[in-house]
Amino acid sequence: MTNNSTHSEANDTGTTKRKHIIIGAMFRAVGAYPSGWRYPGAHHDPHDDPEVIRATALEAEAAGLDYIFFGDWLATGPDLEFRDPYLAARIEPLSAVGFLAGITSRIGLIATVNATYSDAYTLARISASIDRLSGGRLGLNIVTGAEPRAAANHGRDAHWGNEQRYDSAEELIDALRLLWDSWGDGALVANQESGHYLDPSKLHRADFRGAHHPVAGPLNVLRPIQGHVPLVHAGTSQRSRHLVHTRADLALLALPGIAEAAAVTKTLRTEAAANGRNPDHVKSLTPVLPIIGSTFEEAWEIHDFLASRVPVSPGPHDDREGFPATRSLAVLGEAIGLELAQAELEAEVTVDDAARFNQHGEHLLDLTRQRSGRIPGTARPVRWRDILVNHLVPYSVVVGTAAHIADYLQAWHEEGGVDGFNILTPFLGEQFEHFTRGVIPELRSRGLFREAYQGSTLRDHLGLTVPVNLHDATPVESTTVTGPVGAGARA
């Protein structure tokens, strides 16, 4: 082993433990910052998404990133133009990773699927197929969905409540694992000489009897190359945490600060162990949106440009269809404890104004200083617009040089216990290249990111081992297809 920070190694449980930071690109075609698409030269037209998906994945792969990650949303409408334009019109994630399976060769490909509206057999087929087509590089991000309009798009009267959605999601995962394990080792014989094609004793039914995802099986796709496709889960509630502790391989966590990260990642490991799992096999990820310049001043200018293009309104009402009422100074005033109905967006926040801010207002002043170097009463003063925009953009935005971004990731990894990061890009592609060509070499020079891919599958990249086939681990006679007609009858 030449460099401990860049290799996997066997630990005392005989499994692999990864030393370096996990880094993936969270793909949002027209940018993750709400006004990113308006930056000069930014990708801004979804008609060109196929080329941008291809170019971004190849750039990420050239930098050695662990995966490219596609989120999902099951509805659209005019409001998304203001909230998150990247959600309005986009390529469906499983289609995107299927497309990339033939274009890339090393990088992991993670697609988000909404468990609430998924069919277990269909999802098992598609995911096993893409895993095989990509040489074992697929991951799935299982979410339960927070968009109520998805219900009517799938023939339902209403979006289920949290409990029902999570009951369904946990069942879906259990059904997927049984379906992926349909083909035991040696089930496909394919002996041309003897004419022996299948060994039916090794072809297993799922016979899963859940309230939401009952499914018979076997699956008509061979076992994924990774055994089970690695599963990410993104959510915030207690039920979400339970799903992570019991079933997910990676947790995508929205965390407000390093102290909270340390507490959550500690609990995650403890609870995973309490559920009989290897805590090293449940990884924590958090999203980060870096805005990168060659100097702080340059990075602040990029941030200020983006902030100046976020659609906001001085008053609570705006004529534009779908415009959210929350995007106004009047509503900001309620959040920071001041009456702002008469304030001007571009007017300065004075030192006296700032002294009257409540705790949330002080937090926004701090964010404004970090993101744009602006401080009330200085040569870089704060405008009301700055406070409003930073109130509206809740992501972990970090603004600065490549070295500063690396400092930030290092601190979250070492002090917050976070295993890795989903890197959001404010706009494509210049800012993404600043990350891959600026921040990644900086992390490498600190021994925090490996020099090159060490294995071929996403599990290899993540330091996860291939799970034993559930049917082999606990042989259940009734789940085996007993006669040669068993599978054929279902073909």
SS3 400: strand
Place of tokens 């926040």: 349
Q: What is the CA radius of gyration of the chain?
A: 24
Place of tokens 């061979």: 222
Q: What angle do CA 390, 393, 396 make, to 5 degrees?
A: 100
Q: Which is nearer to ligand FMN, 175 or 232 (CB)?
A: 232
Q: Residue 356: which residues within 8 A CB-CB, separation 6 or more?
A: 337, 338
> Among 4, 48, 77, 146, which residue interacts with ligand FMN (rule: CB under 6 A)?
146
Instruction: Find the part of the chain contacting ligand FMN (CB under 6 A) among 143-151, 185-193, 209-217, 371-379.
Output: 143-151
User: CB 180 → ligand FMN: shortest distance, Å?
Assistant: 22
> Among 252, 288, 402, 423, which residue interacts with ligand FMN (rule: CB under 6 A)?
252
User: CB 23 → ligand FMN: shortest distance, Å?
Assistant: 16
Cα four-point dihedral sign 426, 430, 435, 439: negative
Residue 61, both tokens: 């792969």
Q: Which is nearer to ligand FMN, 396 or 456 (CB)?
A: 396
Q: Which is nearer to ligand FMN, 139 or 235 (CB)?
A: 235
For position 112 contacting ligand FMN by CB under 6 A, the verdict is yes
Q: How far apart are CA 212 and CA 169, in angstroms?
A: 9
Q: How far apart are CA 90 and CA 147, in angstroms?
A: 16
User: CB 388 → ligand FMN: shortest distance, Å?
Assistant: 23
Instruction: Find the part of the chain contacting ligand FMN (CB under 6 A) among 144-152, 216-224, 264-272, 385-393.
Output: 144-152
Q: Which is nearer to ligand FMN, 136 or 287 (CB)?
A: 287
> Among 8, 114, 326, 436, which residue interacts with ligand FMN (rule: CB under 6 A)?
114
User: CB 71 → ligand FMN: shortest distance, Å?
Assistant: 3
Total residues contacting ligand FMN by CB under 6 A comes to 19
Q: How far apart are CA 104 and CA 109, in angstroms?
A: 9
For position 240 contacting ligand FMN by CB under 6 A, the verdict is yes
For position 22 contacting ligand FMN by CB under 6 A, the verdict is no
SS3 276: coil
Report the site for ligand FMN in 66-95 (rule: CB under 6 A): 71-73
Q: Which is nearer to ligand FMN, 146 or 476 (CB)?
A: 146
Residue 153, both tokens: 């798009």
SS3 324: coil
Q: Answer for the pair 150, 159: CB distance below 8 angstroms, yes or no.
A: yes
Q: Which is nearer to ligand FMN, 41 or 161 (CB)?
A: 161
Q: Answer for the pair 257, 243: CB distance below 8 angstroms, yes or no.
A: no
Helix axes 238-246, 162-180, angle to 10 degrees: 10
Q: How far apart are CA 404 and CA 296, in angstroms?
A: 9
Q: Which is nearer to ligand FMN, 73 or 82 (CB)?
A: 73
Encoded one letter per residue, x for contact with ligand FMN by CB under 6 A and - for no contact, window 301-340 reads ----------------------------------------
Residue 85, both tokens: 């334009």
Q: CA nearest 84: which of 147, 34, 149?
A: 34
For position 236 contacting ligand FMN by CB under 6 A, the verdict is yes
Instruction: Find the part of the chain contacting ligand FMN (CB under 6 A) among 99-107, 219-227, 230-238, 428-436.
Output: 230-238
Name the pairing type of β-strands 188-191 and 196-198: antiparallel
Q: CA nearest 82: which of 319, 242, 401?
A: 319
User: CB 29 → ligand FMN: shortest distance, Å?
Assistant: 13
Q: Which is nearer to ligand FMN, 101 or 264 (CB)?
A: 264
Place of tokens 């203001």: 82
Q: Which is nearer to ligand FMN, 247 or 444 (CB)?
A: 247
For position 131 contacting ligand FMN by CB under 6 A, the verdict is no
Q: Which is nearer to ligand FMN, 332 or 393 (CB)?
A: 393
Report the site for ligand FMN in 368-407 (rule: CB under 6 A): none
For position 153 contacting ligand FMN by CB under 6 A, the verdict is no
Q: How far apart are CA 112 and CA 469, in angstroms?
A: 24
**Site residues, ligand FMN (CB under 6 A):** 71-73, 112, 114, 143-146, 162, 234-237, 239-240, 252, 254, 287
